[in-house]
Every structure is written in C-alpha cells, then in structure tokens.
Amino acid sequence: MLKLIIADDERMIRESISSLIDWNSLGIELIGTCRDGIEAYNMILDESPNIVMTDIRMPGLSGLELIERISQTDMDIQFILLSGFGEFEYAKQAMKYRVHHYLLKPCNEEQIMESMRDVIQEYYHRQAFQDLKERQKALTANLHHSILANIINEQIFLPEPAESSWNAYSGFMDFYNTGYEMCFLHYLEEDHFISVLSRIYDYMAEHAPGIELYSIYVKNSLILFFEGYQVSYDTFDSFMRSLNPKAQSVELDYKRYTFSSLGRLLETLIAKIKRYGIIYFMNGLQPVPTCNYKNLISEIEELTTLLIEANGSELKSHLEELTAILNDIGNPDFLKQAGSRILIKFATESNYLSSVDTTEYLMDLNQQTEVGSIRSLLCEKLNEALKEPSTHSQRYSPFIEKVMQYVEEHLDNPNLTLKSIAENYLFMNVDYVSKRFSKETKQKFSNYITILRIQKAKQLLAEGHTEQIQWIAQQVGCGNNPQYFSQIFKKNTGMTPSAYAKKLNGGE
C-alpha cells in the first residue's frame, strides 16, 4: 500500500479529510497527520511516505517550503496542495517542484478521491518506468562486471591470454568492435587509492553519465578502463593529473592508452596484472581481492560443508581443522575472502546463521585490517554460529552504529535523511533500517537527528557564537535558514537561541 501523510494547521480540516475517505479502498495507508510544516518534515524523514497532502500556509514551514526542502533530497514523493481561493496563484509556484495536483478548499469527498486517484496512477506509472530502467541498468552493469571478473580470474592463471575466454561471453558484451580507454595511475599508495577512486567516480558521474567505469588496484597502481565516449580526452586527462593526494611523498604518474576493442585491452591488461600476488577488481569502492590460493579455497569450502553437516565430536574436529587452516593464512585480504565465503556458506546452507546476522558479521569482518584481529573475529563468529545464540554486550547493531556515526559526521547536511543513509551508505532497505533504528534506540530517526542538532547548537552557543545564528544554523544542518533553526530550537528547548545564550551568560 502507498503511505500518505496529511498536514494542515486547522484541526477540523485534518480530521475531516482523514476520516472522510476510505483510504484502504484506494490502496492507501494513512500513516499520520501533522499540524505544522516542521512536524510534517520530521514525519517524512521517519516514514518515507509516497504521498503528502499539505496545506499551502502553515506555521514553522509552509507547504511550499516543505516541498522545497524535500525536493533537495533524493526522496520521490507526490504532493497534493490544499489552497484557499486567494492562494491559488501563489500555489502555482509549486510547479517548479513538479507539483501538479491542487485542491481548492473547501473540497468534498469526490474531489479528494479524484485527485488521489490521479496521483496514485501517476505514481505507479513513474515508479514502474523508473524501476524498469534501474533494474535493466543494474542488471546489465552487474552482468558486465561479473563477466570481466570471471575473465580476469580465469586468465591470470594461464601462461598466455586466451581470446577464447572472452569469446564465450561475446553474446553479452562487445569485445571486438567498440573502442576502449585504459588509464594508469602509478605510485598511488594503498592508503589513498579509495579516496582518489571516489573522486574519479564523481567526475565520471558528472561528465560521462551512463559510462561504466571498471577499476583494478595492484601494488601502488590504479588501473581504469571504460568504453570510449568522446574524441578528445584533454579535460579528463587534466583532471586525472590533478589527483595527487597531499599526504603522498611522491607524485602520481598518469598514462592513458586507446584500444580498438575490449579484447585488445584485456590482452594488455592481463599481461600486466598477472605478475602481482593480489589483484583487487573493484566493485564500486569495495576492493574484491583475487589471490592465487585456488586449492586452499576449495579445501576451505569442503571443510565448511563438512562442518555444517557434522555434529558432536565430528563437528569439533572439523572446526579445529578449519581453524588451523585459517591460522596459517597470513594475508589479511585473502583471510577476509575466505572468511566471507565461510559465513555466506553458513547462511545459505544451514540454519546456524540468519541473513541479518551474516550481514552484520560481514560488516564487522570487512572493517578489520590486521591479520590477528580478522582471525580472532572470524573464529569468534564461527564459535557463536555453532552454539545457541547468546546475549551480545554491544549496545546497538553494527549498522545502527554506522547510522549514528554517519549522522554525527554529516550533521551539517540539511538534506540528511535515513533513506539516503540506508540506500547510499549502508546499501540496505530503508524500512528495515527505520524499524531497527526505532526498536534499538527507542526513538525515531527525526527525533534523534533533531536532538543532536539541538545539542550541537547549544554547544556552539556556549562557546560564544551568540551573534552568529545564521552560521550556527548551517553548522547544525538547517541550511541558510536561521528562522527555521530558531523555530526548531524553541520547539525543543522552550526558548529562542538568543534567549538561551542570554541565560548561559547569566541573563534572565
């Protein structure tokens, strides 16, 4: 069902609209009503509704201001504006935010139903089209990435690159007729390559949207390749040469080569990378290592299967054998790779681990950098998985801790939403994250972020920034809107920022 919020500062209107319509018959769940724009904004952050019906004039934030703030986020919400007779021309300003649905007050049941049906139809059409585009794009990108990963994994163990390897995939990718570019950034230290790669992704998203960028990192060298998309790469080359990290002691060496086809590029690429012990074929910003431990991986997977199927003394014996193999692995990246395979196998082939537990365990595992800490954590998780669940001492789940940490680090972002954190940082479902956040913290996300903003504002006021209300508003994520900041500050503390600062300094 689609989720609906109604916002109007007149109680009679709120209550009559909410009770007048049989929302379930429209496939809509009315999840809340709000008496002002601030309440509506916070509820939108918490609940991620599909439709918001809002009055055009409200205290705190007007309907237009509410729409403007939401339009600056990544939330896709359909708005219906409620306006009085004299406000209709004013309401047309909302058209620049793609709001095309209006109801002139007073409105009857049939008018509301008709408008809502139009919104529902438009929402599902847009959603279906967007979902189809995104699915096709994601599926194609994932397929191409998987194909290239398979080719690289197969080829690095062969004496010479074999064209037959990618010829088998020619029905899915063009290896022969499309030109490609390959770039090298030499002397890029491991501590800096993720930040440099992130900047390159941002550049490509802005200047070459739709062009898939593939990246490989081998000892102090970042290799990029992508389908040719323009005649001159002067601007791109200038950008790449500007990427020298300040913390590095040596400058990067940049080179770019043009290839007539992807197949020719792969021949050169594989010949260059096969001499390295560990090759990271990047999945976005996530390094995925390929190590020459093929036989050991097979042994680990076989032991894991035996461990899942065993019980009693056999279980203990297999666990000791698997632990001994893990103790002999000295490479942290390969140890993570082996550990990930074991945990995923437990999740998919046994009842020992749930998918949620596995996700959290993998997050913990990927955060470790030292062999000792990786090994200890992995052995701990294996032992936990093979016995009855115990009470964890950790206060919050790892991904909830990540949400809190991200909010603290980006508190000055006025467009911070749980949806953007869940989808773009955690890569998790926003509804699931929202429910877990509320359950574990005993509060909604909007309340949590508001409390943090008020706390930071109090701290800045206590530090003497009493004459810089606009600056404080920006620092705590209220953007260039000191009036909105003052309103939420007063709503949560009972006094304006100026009054609070005066109280701190001994005033009445």
Query: SS3 letters for 168-187?
Result: CCCCCCCCCCCCEEEEEEEC
Inter-helix orientation angle 497-504/445-462, to 10°: 50
Residue where the block lists tokens 């955690």: 426
In sequence order, the 6+-apart residues with CB closer than 8 A to the CB of 409 are: none
- Contact between residue 418 and residue 45 where contact means Cβ atoms under 8 Å apart: yes
Q: Is residue 40 exposed (0-12), middle (13-18) or buried (19+ Cβ within 10 Å)? A: buried
Residue where the block lists tokens 């920022």: 497
Q: Which of 352, 73, 428, 2 is nearest to 436 (CA)?
A: 428
Torsion 311-313-318-324 (CA) sign: positive
pTM of the predicted structure, to 2 decimals? 0.47
Task: Output the CA–CA distances (angstroms, integers) from residue 101 to 52, 66, 111, 194, in the order listed.
Answer: 11, 15, 11, 45
Q: Provide the pLDDT for residue 130.
A: 79
Give, for all 508 residues of the chain, the pLDDT tens digit: 899 999 999 999 999 999 989 999 999 999 999 999 999 999 999 999 999 999 988 888 988 899 989 988 888 899 998 887 666 666 667 677 778 788 888 889 999 999 999 999 988 888 888 777 777 777 788 889 888 988 888 887 777 767 777 887 888 889 999 999 999 999 998 889 999 999 999 999 999 988 999 999 987 899 999 999 888 999 999 999 999 888 787 889 999 999 999 999 999 999 888 777 678 899 889 988 877 566 567 778 888 888 888 776 778 888 888 887 787 676 788 888 888 888 877 777 776 665 555 666 776 787 788 888 888 888 887 777 676 433 333 468 888 989 999 999 999 999 999 999 998 988 888 999 999 999 989 899 999 999 999 989 888 887 777 678 889 999 999 988 889 899 999 998 888 888 887 776 655 4
Q: Which of 274, 247, 256 is nearest to 156 (CA)?
A: 274
Q: Is 215 helix (H, G, I), strand (E, B) or coil?
A: strand
Residue where the block lists tokens 């509704």: 49
Alpha carbon of residue 257 to chain centroid: 33
Residue where the block lists tokens 């972002």: 413
Q: Strand 102-104 and strand 78-83: pairing?
A: parallel
Phi-psi region of 210 (alpha: psi -120 to 50; beta: other; left: phi over 0): left
Phi-psi region of 464 (alpha: psi -120 to 50; beta: other; left: phi over 0): left
Give the alpha-carbon dihedral of 322, 328, 334, 336, to 10 degrees: 60
Give the number of other Cβ atoms within 10 Å of residue 137's Cβ.
Answer: 12
Q: Is 358 helix (H, G, I), strand (E, B) or coil?
A: helix
Alpha carbon of residue 174 to chain centroid: 31
- Contact between residue 298 and residue 236 where contact means Cβ atoms under 8 Å apart: no
| Residue 130 host element (H or E) | helix 109-155
DSSP single-letter state for residue 286: B
Residue where the block lists tokens 């260059």: 272
Inter-helix orientation angle 332-349/312-328, to 10°: 160
Tokens at 424, concatenated: 């773009």
In sequence order, the 6+-apart residues with CB closer than 8 A to the CB of 27 are: 1, 2, 120
Torsion 368-373-374-376 (CA) sign: negative
Q: Which of 334, 263, 253, 266 is nearest to 297 (CA)?
A: 334
